[in-house]
Amino acid sequence: MSVVARTWGGPAGGRVGRRVAPAVAAAVLVLLGVAVVFPGLLAPHPPNDTDVVSAFRPPGGGHPFGTDELGRDVLSRVVYGARPSLAIGLGATALGVLAGLAIGLLAATGPRVVDRALMRGLDVLLAFPELLLALLVVTVVGSGTANVLVAIGIAAVPTYARLVRGQALPVIGSPYAEAAVVLGVRRPVIVLRHVLPNVTGPLLVLATIGTGTAVISGSALSFLGLGTPPPAAEWGSMLSDGREFLATAWWTATFPGLAIVAVVLSVTVLVRSLRSRTPKGAGA
């Protein structure tokens, strides 16, 4: 994740990258927000209404995205699937960011021994590929939406912790932080008032792109049968269900996949356009 975020965390270029794409991305994310909060507004049918007679209807008529093997409306399931898919993406990122912030700040401001111990620990965790680390956690805590959220969040902690420490260290050593120490300002206050604001910008960039990556990881674990259990609609498990019928009913697995792509693309495009508006040096 870190590599992807580092490579795409920069500002966007060109007219398409600065004007058109961000507008489309913003529209997608607004739609997504509506789907998460008021899915009933966008979904033409209840997500779990089965109707075997109208199974595998191609897109068109009352079913813009067609119906699946049980006659459930694919569009409605994609809309309702936004909630668990996004819950995993946002929840895992929030967990990773908060834990990473705590560990990173502790390493940067604490005694040298603590810093070295924490960094060595992170080196160990960074040696595990993220998806495998998440699978290891799932083995311990079991499958399910919340557990997958925790697993992906834990797997992301080292990346965030490293970033926070890296951003915090120069601030701690800066003349103004030293001046604050001389003036008798207490350590927690220095961290809150001087270190934290310098860390949040780059952290937000990394976290936003990380949310997209977490959505993909979450759908991957659901696809493997470890995430949101059926019959609840979730993009990854819809992909997994739909692939058996893909040769005859392409729409069942195509639309949930497109939903994932739309979300991940929009998030990255929006961050890049925001980055191209902020002054240089405000990010990682």
Partner 1 sequence: MSVMRRWAVPVVRRLGSGVLVLWGAATVSFLVLHLVPGDVVDTVLGPSTAATPELRERIRADYGLGDPLPVQYLRQLAGLLTGDLGRSYQQGLPVGDVLAGQIGPTVELALAATVLALLIAFVAAVATAGRGRAARAVASGLELLAVSVPSYWLGILAFTFLSYRFRLLPAAGDQGPAALVLPALTLALPIGGVLARVVRQELDEALARPFALTVRARGATERTVLLRHTLRHAALPVATLSGWVVGSLLGGAVLTETVFARPGLGRVLVTAVTSKDIPVVTALVLLSAAAFVVVNLLVDLAYLVIDPRLRTEGAGV
> Which residue, 190 or 206, has its beta carbon nearer to partner 1?
206
Residues in region 105-134 near partner 1 by CB under 8 A: 120-121, 123-125, 127-133
The two structure tokens encoding residue 115: 């810093």
Please report, for residues 106, 167, 231, the alpha-carbon distance to residue 253 in angstroms, rounded to integers and kept in the order given: 45, 42, 15
Contacting range for partner 1; rule: CB under 8 A; set: 35-43, 47-55, 182-190, 249-257: 249-257
Which residue's structure tokens are 């080292």? Answer: 158
> Which residue, 190 or 264, has its beta carbon nearer to partner 1?
264
> Which residue, 97 or 249, has its beta carbon nearer to partner 1?
249
The two structure tokens encoding residue 109: 């401001």
State how far the Cα of 101 lies from the Cα of 105, in Å rounded to an integer.
6
Q: What mask, x for binding partner 1 by CB under 8 A, covers residues 173 to 212?
A: ---------------------------------------x
Question: Which of 43, 138, 195, 214: binder of partner 1 (CB under 8 A)?
Answer: 138
In this structure, the number of other CB atoms found within 10 A of the CB of residue 27 comes to: 11
Residues in region 15-74 near partner 1 by CB under 8 A: 16-17
Residue 65: partners with Cβ closer than 8 Å, 6 or more residues away: 59, 73, 74, 75, 78, 251, 255
| Identity of the amino acid at 91 | G
Residues in region 257-276 near partner 1 by CB under 8 A: 257, 260-261, 264-265, 268-269
* Minimum CB–partner distance for residue 104 and partner 1 (Å): 18
Whether the Cβ atoms of residue 78 and residue 86 lie closer than 8 Å to each other: no
Contacting range for partner 1; rule: CB under 8 A; set: 67-75, 167-175, 180-188, 218-226: 218-226
Contacting range for partner 1; rule: CB under 8 A; set: 70-78, 179-187, 192-200, 256-264: 256-264
In 3D space, the residue among 170, 194, 199 whose CA is nearest the CA of residue 180 turns out to be: 194
Say how many residues touch partner 1, by CB under 8 A. 48
> Which residue, 14 or 58, has its beta carbon nearer to partner 1?
14
Question: Could you give phi then psi for residue 229, rounded to 5 degrees?
Answer: -75, 150
Question: Which of 26, 42, 99, 136: binder of partner 1 (CB under 8 A)?
Answer: 136
State how far the Cα of 221 lies from the Cα of 62, in Å rounded to an integer.
32
Whether the Cβ atoms of residue 46 and residue 76 lie closer than 8 Å to each other: yes
In 3D space, the residue among 188, 165, 172 whose CA is nearest the CA of residue 101 turns out to be: 165
Using CB under 8 A as the binding rule, whether residue 99 contacts partner 1 is answered as no
Q: Is 66 helix (H, G, I), strand (E, B) or coil?
A: coil
Question: Which of 82, 253, 270, 271: binder of partner 1 (CB under 8 A)?
Answer: 253
* Residues at the site binding partner 1, with contacts judged by CB under 8 A: 3-4, 7-8, 13-14, 16-17, 120-121, 123-125, 127-133, 135-136, 138-140, 143, 212, 216, 219-220, 223-226, 239, 243, 246-247, 250, 253-254, 257, 260-261, 264-265, 268-269
